[in-house]
Amino acid sequence: MLDNLNILVTGGTGSFGKKFTEMILDRHKPNKLIVFSRDELKQHEMQQMFADRPDADVMRYFIGDIRDKERLYRAFNEVDLVVHTAALKQVPACEYNPFEAILTNIIGAKNIIDAAIDTGVKKVIALSTDKAVNPTNLYGATKLCMEKLFVQAGAYSPLGGTKFAICRYGNVMGSRGSVVPLFIEQRKKGKITITDSRMTRFWITLEQGVNFVVKCTDMMNGGEIFVPKMPSMNIMDVAKTMAPDCVVDFVGIRPGEKLHEVLISEDEARHSVEMDDMYIVKPTEPFSGSGEYAESKEVPEGFRFTSNHNTEWLKDEELLSLVADVVP
């Protein structure tokens, strides 16, 4: 379904962008795959990484910032699909630099919407986070605003024009900021740090995340928030599996951090449906397409998808198997 398309990835030099590029080139035949980011060094390193591939000629490297609308107009020319991953993601940095977080995560999202509609991009799908649900920090609040903008963007798109949707999921194992590589590094010194022993988290790998985004790109009608079904694990079980012989230093919950992740709130559940491998928060506006999905069912009254009330839990051996695949 991605063959012969011109695809652009914002924040394309990040963990997801590099994995997305690798998997798309391995499994599909895009006409053009454009890496859009603001870091010239990371683009150079990524170009070296993919230089020896026989299909490297479809790659394009476009330096730019999503805050710069004019640059987006130039980059989106003749693009069919935009995968939007660019964001300021570090919670402490966003708290200390709130204006910068707003300019990138909210105003940048608006720029993408405007540029995509005006240049005739067919589909735009954006990556969000559990932190956007009942946010307790600025990063989560900006991602909530980004979601609201994308869900409502169909109202500005002409009939048959650009479609917008969201993929929302939790911890990506092995990505920058993930606790798994942190534990692997800390265990060399015999001590790991944990904020709170009660903490639970959802788990998904980069490969699973890319597969999910590709699937949602195919099935989106516009205005949906797609949430994959993911297993949970208690942070102490992660620690015992990853660093069984290490001393644990409890450092306390950081500002803006939650004990448990929430991917669908009770309020969102009122217009959500369940499928075999995902939940879909349907748009409430009629402009967003039919909103009907084959083999879906309404979620029960009072439903909420949280990491501490999950029906699927990751076993120790499953975690080790996943870690072996994603962390050198």
Both tokens of 226, joined, read 């797609």
**Contact (Cβ atoms closer than 8 angstroms) between residue 246 and residue 192:** yes
Question: Residue-wise over 23-47: b if at least 16 C-beta within 10 A, else e?
Answer: bbbeebebebbbbbbbeeebbeebe
Check residue 313 and report its DSSP letter.
B
Q: How far apart are CA 178 and CA 235, in angstroms?
A: 12
131 in catalytic set: yes
CA distances from 145 to 23, 153, 225 (A): 30, 12, 13
Check residue 104 and report its DSSP letter.
I
Rg (CA), the chain: 20
The residue type of 153 is: A
Question: Residue-wise over 273-295: b if at least 16 C-beta within 10 A, else e?
Answer: bbeeebbbbbbeeeebbebebee
The per-residue DSSP string of 223-291 comes to: S-EEEE---EEEHHHHHHHH-TTSEEEE--PPTT--SS-EEE-HHHHTTEEE-SSEEEE--SSGGG---
Is the torsion defined by CA of 261, 266, 267, 273 positive or negative? Answer: positive
**Given the residues 42, 131, 229, 258, the one annotated as active site:** 131
Check residue 76 and report its DSSP letter.
T
For 187, phi then psi, to 5°, come to -65, -15
Check residue 307 and report its DSSP letter.
S
State the catalytic residues. Answer: 131
